[in-house]
Amino acid sequence: MTSSQRIARRLFTSSANPLFTSKRVPIQLRPRIATRYASTSTSTDALPISRLRTFLYATSIAASGYVAYVYVTDTRAFVHRYVTPPLLRFLYPDAEEAHDVAISSMKTLHSLGLHLRERPSFTPEGPDLSVSVFGSQLANPIGISGGLDKHADIPDALFALGASIVEVGGCTPRPQDGNPKPRMFRVPTLDGLINRYGLNSRGADDMAMRLRERVRRYAKSVGLDEASVLNGEANVPPGSLLPGRMLLVQIAKNKETDERDVEAIKQDYVYCVQRLARYADVLVVNVSSPNTPGLRDLQAVEPLTKLLSAVVDEAQRADRKQKPKVMVKVSPDEDEDTQMEGIVQAVWASGVDGVIVGNTTKRRTGLIPPKINITSKEQHTMTETGGYSGPMMFDRTLELVRRYRKMLDGQTLQSVPTTETRKVVADEAVDASIMGIEGTIAAFSENEPKQSSTKPLEQKVIFATGGISDGRSALEILNAGASVAMVYTVLVYGGAGSVTRMKSEMKKEMAGKKA
């Protein structure tokens, strides 16, 4: 054994070698300790509580959303009077742009079922506001004038605001753009408007298509066809498609039609009747717009009688059982006795059913109340060409209603005019004998029809528009002899809840007088 081998052996067998000095510790198994997990009963008990909490949160959110929906879509909501109108004026300095945005918004919201609507009040109803017009019972005597819904885009959305009458148009036979922009101006201090639209229209064919589609949608919803609805089988008026409501369709001539050619003008109106009469409860003949050259000249007795006779005759040919009524819209500026008497003669001679008294005025006198200072911008606006509308028109409208009521009740033809006699009368410039009838209307509802020497004649109906802005002024107009008070400008400044508010004011006024 060599020395190196001996040294290695000694090293590996020596007790100083740490490999041999460390004792192997036997592997010991740790005692198994049973692990106790948390009981699942607490978690199971908490689950229904968690679900209940989630349900309550969801219900609260849904209830809050529903309450917000009901509030925002109610015409009585604060925002629709004090927030929306001034906000529109601020965002859209151009009045026509604001008008277009409002119409577009109402159309969209109605299509989604999110439109504003008049909801029933939880307080006692008070006096009944229903009124008889053309033998039909209207829910109330408030209407919305033409010009707001020029193209029949939103008649149903306007009915939802609470009015019993909605007038769409004016509509011309052929499309026309109207006057150049800007053409609508605000006078906020006076809550007034000036417009010179010039009867911008998409034409009678376009409006007829829109109204026809509306009737067809309704017919489908009640399981009928178009003809059945128009013939009254749905038990609603064929125009409004709502009980206690009426749809008025305003018609006018095109600007390009020669105002000196009465026959051409007649054809304009007749074409509109042919296209629109089926879908209207009442046709309104507009001869009073101040923004169409020569239109107001048609209010002379001879051309007016010829024109109205042609419209009445064509309306009687409408393809449905109950024919539409016909009314004529007259200017507030034609206020001389001779002018008014000529219009009254034409109304009786032609067989027209009624008169809408009032439109915008060209005059600027008496429109600014004493001690009211308007801004320099508003002073400039008042010099703009166009027709003015606003509360300061009220006194003029009230006086005209009284005078027309007296004239219409005080003059009748000796016999009921037929088609032939109307044409003879028109050709002879209404050289007909006139007899007086005693009594005038001065109550909220209509009196019995007056009697003539040969056959009883129905009393001519009056609708009034111009300056009506609250319940008190509406009652005054009705008591002066009108059957319906119509509004427009108050909706611009008072918001979508104006009709609801006016009716509430009327009820309070009537209840106060009875007490």
Q: Which residues are catalytic?
A: 289
CA distance linking residue 228 with residue 234, whole number of Å = 7
d(CA 107, CA 129): 28
β-bridge partners, 368: none
Which of 299, 308, 251, 298 has the alpha carbon at shortest distance from 276? 251
For the chain, the C-alpha Rg in angstroms (whole number) is 38
Measure the CA–CA gap between 89 and 188, rounded to whole angstroms.
9
And the tokens for 461?
């109906």
CA dihedral 255, 259, 263, 269 (to 10 degrees): 40
Q: Which residues share a beta bridge with 201?
A: 176
The token duo for 281 is 């409860």
319 φ, ψ (degrees, to nearest 5): -80, 70
As separate numbers, helices (DSSP H) first and strands (DSSP E) second, the chain gives 18, 15
Q: Is 238 helix (H, G, I), strand (E, B) or coil?
A: coil
Place of tokens 């939880």: 122
Most distant CA pair in the chain, distance: 167
The torsion angle over the Cα atoms of residues 385, 386, 392 and 393, rounded to 10 degrees, is 140
- Cα–Cα distance, 499 to 515 (Å, whole number): 24
Of 249, 138, 251, nearest to 482 by C-alpha is 138
How far is residue 132's CA from residue 445's CA, in Å, rounded to a whole number? 7
Q: How far is CA 437 from CA 3, 446, 451, 453, in A?
A: 161, 16, 8, 10
